[in-house]
């Protein structure tokens, strides 16, 4: 059968290609009719020319969801009609996978080109054949664009584990973009008291509408605001959800004097600095924690958070949706500052 998919060449123009998928499924394979795929920062920044290391030709997209159409003879965990999203859980047999670090799988799909020399996970495609083991079933009453948050939510679950967040703790999330809002929601789910600092009016409104305390950086210096809020004490944790030198500097100042923890959730291009000296980190016993990626356990936790609606991602999906043939316009929209996730409709 034919698969229509989006891909990028070095010219950074998004095109639609057609390739042949096998008509027969192997015993553990599943034919998924893709409904949607959201455009991740890693996708649109490559389209912008900021992530040349990701490889070309790139059939990107990894935040997709769809309906199971057909299953192979040995498949037992999903059935036709189920809503599924893809968790890139690695090969399972390389050294990294066996250590539980599936993000760094040596054979990871998308990191190495496929037999046709194409990189990526073919998320922006109308049909896909996937191995049963990478599919996560989600509640069928979710909007597929919400189910497509499986991977971003999983990366947040990974970050929360690394941060070792406790229910009584205070957290500031810097940045109310898509990933800032997912971080804020998962932190709140875990019992933390969460405040979000942001500069864009649209994002401030979204954060407020979801019941968060916000710091409007247009009105107040965010560091001063955090000091006021905490009687000069600072907060236990700061999650930096924007890749910026200024945000990194603010995070340190927002933290409590001793034993504060800073989670660097976002990458930035151009690369941001950590604008403080190591003696400060030493004397204040600050923990600077990096996070990236996720593993099978994080995908499971994310699937549950979404399916039970413990978190709500409906407000961080842009209402205007795009078709596969409009992928160039979709990338333009996704890369416009202030946008939440832009969704491609694939079927
Ligand atoms: Zn993503
Ligand atoms: Zn592996």
Note the pLDDT tens digit of each residue in 92-115: 899 999 998 888 888 876 678 899
Residue 71 lies in domain? 2-149+313-345
Using the CB atoms, write b or e for 103-118: b if 16+ within 10 Å.
bbbeebbbbeeeeeeb
State how many domains the chain has.
2
Q: Which ligand is nearest to the CA of 150?
A: 1
CATH number at residue 88: 3.90.180.10
Task: Identify whether residues 91 and 219 lie together within a single domain.
Answer: no
Task: Identify whether residues 19 and 61 lie together within a single domain.
Answer: yes
Q: Which ligand is nearest to the CA of 109?
A: 2
Task: Identify whether residues 84 and 216 lie together within a single domain.
Answer: no
Task: Identify whether residues 134 and 181 lie together within a single domain.
Answer: no
In a domain, 300, yes or no: no
Average pLDDT in the chain: 96
* Cβ contact 67:81 at 8 Å: yes
* pLDDT (0 to 100) of residue 110: 61
Task: Identify whether residues 218 and 142 lie together within a single domain.
Answer: no
CA-wise closest residue to 157 among 40, 286, 300, 308? 300
Q: What is the pTM (predicted TM-score) of this model?
A: 0.94
* pLDDT (0 to 100) of residue 150: 98
Task: Identify whether residues 158 and 145 lie together within a single domain.
Answer: no
CATH number at residue 164: 3.40.50.720
In a domain, 98, yes or no: yes
Task: Identify whether residues 75 and 163 lie together within a single domain.
Answer: no
329 three-class SS: helix
295 token code pair: 């593993």
C-alpha of residue 74 to centroid of ligand 2, in Å: 22
Task: Identify whether residues 141 and 217 lie together within a single domain.
Answer: no
C-alpha of residue 42 to centroid of ligand 1, in Å: 7
Q: Please count the helices (runs of H) and the strands (runs of E) in the chain.
A: 11, 15
Note the pLDDT tens digit of each residue in 227-246: 999 999 999 999 999 999 99
Which residues have CB atoms below 5 A from the ion given as ligand 2? 90-91, 94, 97, 105
Q: Which residues of the chain have pLDDT under 70?
A: 109-110
């Amino acid at each position: 059968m034919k698969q229509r998919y989006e891909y990028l060449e070095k010219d950074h123009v998004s095109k639609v290609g057609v390739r042949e998928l096998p008509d027969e499924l192997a015993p553990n394979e599943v034919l998924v009719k893709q409904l949607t795929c959201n455009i991740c920062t890693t996708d649109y920044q490559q389209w912008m020319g900021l992530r040349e290391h990701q490889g070309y030709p790139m059939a990107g997209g990894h935040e997709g969801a769809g309906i199971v159409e057909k299953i192979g003879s040995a498949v037992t965990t999903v059935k036709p009609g189920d809503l599924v999203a893809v968790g890139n859980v690695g090969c399972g047999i390389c050294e990294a996978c066996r250590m539980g670090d599936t993000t760094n799988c040596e054979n990871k799909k998308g990191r190495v080109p496929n037999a046709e020399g194409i990189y990526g996970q073919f998320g922006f495609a109308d049909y896909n054949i996937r191995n049963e083991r990478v599919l996560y079933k989600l509640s069928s009453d979710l909007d597929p664009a919400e189910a497509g948050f499986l991977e971003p939510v999983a990366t947040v679950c990974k970050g929360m584990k690394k941060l070792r967040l406790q229910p009584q703790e205070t957290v500031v999330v810097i940045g109310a973009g898509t990933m800032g809002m997912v971080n804020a929601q998962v932190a709140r789910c875990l019992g933390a008291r969460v405040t979000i600092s942001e500069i864009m009016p649209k994002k401030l409104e979204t954060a407020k509408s979801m019941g968060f305390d916000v710091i409007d950086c247009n009105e107040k210096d965010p560091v001063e605001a955090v000091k006021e809020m905490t009687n000069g004490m600072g907060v236990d944790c700061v999650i930096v959800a924007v890749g910026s030198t200024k945000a990194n500097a603010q995070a340190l100042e927002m933290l409590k004097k001793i034993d504060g923890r800073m989670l660097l959730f976002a990458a930035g291009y151009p690369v941001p600095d950590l604008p403080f000296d190591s003696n400060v980190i030493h004397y204040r016993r600050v923990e600077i924690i990096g996070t990236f990626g996720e593993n099978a356990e994080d995908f499971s936790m994310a699937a549950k958070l979404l399916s039970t609606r413990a978190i709500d991602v409906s407000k961080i999906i842009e209402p205007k949706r795009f078709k596969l043939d409009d992928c160039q316009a979709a990338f333009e929209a996704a890369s416009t500052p202030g946008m939440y996730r832009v969704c491609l409709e694939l079927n």
